[in-house]
Structure 1
């Protein structure tokens, strides 16, 4: 893209000129072009100005939801929140924007910005999408302390802050109620097989996800927790009840197999690889590691052998460029029998 085309494109975005933006995109303009002064991408500019239709157009053209601005690191969702348009915020969230994205300079999540800018309507949208209430800024305030500070220093707009406070209180109560209703998960966490059987027999939903309360089980299914915590018989019961064997959790993008091998639970690993529909080679979102990568990384030879015997791929590459053979060499040593076996069986790199 030439400098003049870039300037024309950014000007059109700033002015909300959808026709010109669409025309330039059709001619090959990149949707992720940045303003050289502000460091904002076209999507951030449109989002900050509350132009939901233009945000949709840029997203359809492939604009990056997750990138940060080049000065402060905030995302398009942060900019939309600052702009105060609930529809734009909703568009970005429904497109996959991370609701708790953290600005690297301030530590602000979008919810913190919504409170800071006094946009209760935006707060409501973020809470609907399970924004976390127990996160902290980089300058030492929890979200709640941040909000208390806002209440104290603002001479105007307190009615909006009080409305936001009402929403936060309602969400807190809803979270507490949801946690209390998690009888099956409570039984799984406690390792109580009889209670798990009882709740399943009573019709408990086997894949109900735990509320997002900034805890270890956030948005986990019972099977994910059972596999992580080593409750083999409970995992067996959950699978028999139809639990999703490939359910992912949102933090690491891990599946039950990742959870099992990461913690060295070979029995559960053997149970999972036999489950109908199992994806042996799912790559997590944080590092691109498959369960086999994880098993080798943590030195769990028995888990790795179960995966290999089940047909796990040896050629997949993590975000660090490493295949299972590389991880095995680092973790087990070049002369270890399993390392040698993996190296011999690994297809040549393309």
Structure 2
């Protein structure tokens, strides 16, 4: 059945692909000779109907090929179908996934293969600009190299350059508009108060600049940087206490405990609707895991008293009790408290 599915995908026979998937053919079947999954094959062939059928059937959009480590989104940028790229991104593909051999992101490949429409779309989805290949080029240097060595299709590269310049200008303008974020980053409590009183967007997201604040809300930044008075102002203004930043998949409570801000931790756990047990995407650590990991006993006690779960298991297989034993020791009072309540 796997062979039949690969054959149908390579033939762009969407109807047969649908029939085979219904008959339990594996939607993430991999071709042994190329290391490509059937989704990668369809994406590279710019076959949008088959790509959508495979996605509906449960194909793994995140997995990489076995030779270059590229994803289906990388293959789609080679194939040149904006419909395929859009289908993958809408299904949750990571826009900035990096191929481990080259260091290429999807945007780099879209530029390399001269598809300005795909580049424009990826830029609109927040694709990073300050990224580097694994052979020493920044994205800008890589694009300049392409402009120099290509004669065929140079008009498409110049069109893509316009999209890059537009995105750079948009980022610059976004930073200039975000006065609240700037005030939070500076720890300027008075300015934060004035801006909130004037109706500033309390949950505005910083643009993706490949920096520390990418896609953060003001509350995430204030919680991380220890601006307790600003945290209170933001919460009073209705800031999303469970806002998730996409880099580490963390919430404000993670930011506070990770840096040992006990006062902010107490402020956050008291908020109605706070998720005490959100597990970060990177390592599966809950805020309690993070507080224990870095040895912040007061933060950990605050979380425990607030009702944080003690049975959550992180990606390295550790419960809060395991973490407490590792950091504080088996006989420490905090370890005993966790053991008693587990």
- Identify the TM-score tier after normalising by the shorter chain: over 0.9
Partners in 1 of 2:21 and 2:335 — Cα distance? 49
1:228 aligned to 2:238?
Answer: no
User: Which whole-Å deviations, capped at 9, do the CAs of 1:242-287 have from their partners, x for residues lacking one?
Assistant: 1000000010000000000000001000000011110000000011
| 1:323 positional shift | 0.5
1:325 aligned to 2:318?
Answer: no
- Indicate which of 223, 236, 248 corresponds to 2:244: 248
Query: Greater CA deviation, 333-342 or 170-179?
Result: 333-342
Partners in 2 of 1:27 and 1:153 — Cα distance? 49
Q: Structure 2, unaligned stretches of length 5 or more?
A: none
Which position in structure 1 is the counterpart of 2:203? Answer: 207
Partners in 2 of 1:193 and 1:330 — Cα distance? 38
Partners in 1 of 2:65 and 2:277 — Cα distance? 34
1:188 aligned to 2:184?
Answer: yes
Query: What SS does structure 1 have at the residue aligned with 2:33?
Result: coil
| 1:345 positional shift | 2.1
1:273 aligned to 2:307?
Answer: no
TM-score (norm 1): 0.97
| 1:46 positional shift | 1.0
1:118 aligned to 2:110?
Answer: no
User: Which whole-Å deviations, capped at 9, do the CAs of 1:57-97 have from their partners, x for residues lacking one?
Assistant: 11111111111011111011001011111111011111111
Which position in structure 1 is the counterpart of 2:85? Answer: 89
| 1:324 positional shift | 0.6
1:302 aligned to 2:298?
Answer: yes
1:22 aligned to 2:5?
Answer: no
Which position in structure 2 is the counterpart of 1:43? Answer: 39
Matched pairs, number: 342
Query: What SS does structure 2 have at the residue aligned with 1:19?
Result: helix
Partners in 1 of 2:57 and 2:283 — Cα distance? 26
Which position in structure 1 is the counterpart of 2:163? Answer: 167
| 1:343 positional shift | 2.1
Q: CA RMSD in A?
A: 0.8
| 1:27 positional shift | 1.2
Partners in 2 of 1:58 and 1:251 — Cα distance? 28
Query: What SS does structure 1 have at the residue aligned with 2:131?
Result: coil
Q: Structure 1, unaligned stretches of length 5 or more?
A: none
Partners in 1 of 2:340 and 2:59 — Cα distance? 42
Query: Greater CA deviation, 49-58 or 188-197?
Result: 49-58
Which position in structure 2 is the counterpart of 1:80? Answer: 76
1:99 aligned to 2:95?
Answer: yes
| 1:181 positional shift | 0.6
| 1:172 positional shift | 0.5
Which position in structure 2 is the counterpart of 1:285? Answer: 281
- Indicate which of 240, 254, 258 corresponds to 1:262: 258
Partners in 1 of 2:297 and 2:334 — Cα distance? 8
Partners in 1 of 2:265 and 2:137 — Cα distance? 41
Partners in 2 of 1:24 and 1:90 — Cα distance? 24
Partners in 2 of 1:338 and 1:250 — Cα distance? 31
| 1:191 positional shift | 0.5
Query: What SS does structure 1 have at the residue aligned with 2:103?
Result: coil
- Indicate which of 144, 151, 155 corresponds to 1:148: 144
Partners in 2 of 1:53 and 1:260 — Cα distance? 46
Query: What SS does structure 2 have at the residue aligned with 1:59?
Result: helix
Partners in 2 of 1:54 and 1:199 — Cα distance? 50
Partners in 2 of 1:121 and 1:338 — Cα distance? 56
Partners in 2 of 1:327 and 1:61 — Cα distance? 39
Which position in structure 1 is the counterpart of 2:153? Answer: 157
User: Which whole-Å deviations, capped at 9, do the CAs of 1:159-185 have from their partners, x for residues lacking one?
Assistant: 111111111011101110111111000
